[in-house]
């Protein structure tokens, strides 16, 4: 299991990877934040920059209670995100 991901979120993460045909990846950046508490519920936002060797990069975004997205991005954009 990926550190910080619960079983449901892990399942959604792997579904998103599979939908893009990603079988091998490296997490370059992982940022998870709790958002403002709403009605006894603290939603989270997760953003990851992934590299799928040899030449594919992605941003993964998941907001609690929403379907995650995995979007291809360019290497320069991935590196800019990691270095910011």
| Domain edges within the chain | 24-83
Contact (CB, 8 A) for 29 and 23: no
pLDDT score of 44:
81
pLDDT over 50 at 1, yes or no? no
pLDDT score of 45:
86
Render pLDDT for 10-66 as a digit per residue (tens, 0 to 9).
889 999 999 999 999 999 999 888 766 666 666 788 899 999 999 999 999 998 778
Contact (CB, 8 A) for 28 and 82: yes
pLDDT score of 4:
52
* 50 vs 4, higher pLDDT: 50
Question: pTM to 2 decimals?
Answer: 0.81
Other CB atoms within 10 Å distance of the CB of residue 58: 21
Mean pLDDT along residues 61-74: 91
The radius of gyration of the chain from alpha carbons, rounded to an integer in Å, stands at 13
d(CA 64, CA 39): 14
């Amino acid at each position: 299991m990926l550190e910080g991901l619960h079983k449901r979120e892990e399942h959604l993460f792997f579904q998103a990877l599979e939908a893009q045909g990603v079988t091998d990846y490296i997490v370059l950046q992982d940022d998870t934040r709790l958002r403002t508490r709403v009605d006894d519920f603290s939603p989270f936002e997760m953003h990851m920059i992934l590299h799928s060797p040899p030449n594919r990069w992605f941003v993964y975004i998941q907001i609690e209670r929403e379907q995650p997205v995995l979007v291809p991005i360019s290497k320069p954009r991935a590196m800019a995100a990691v270095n910011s």
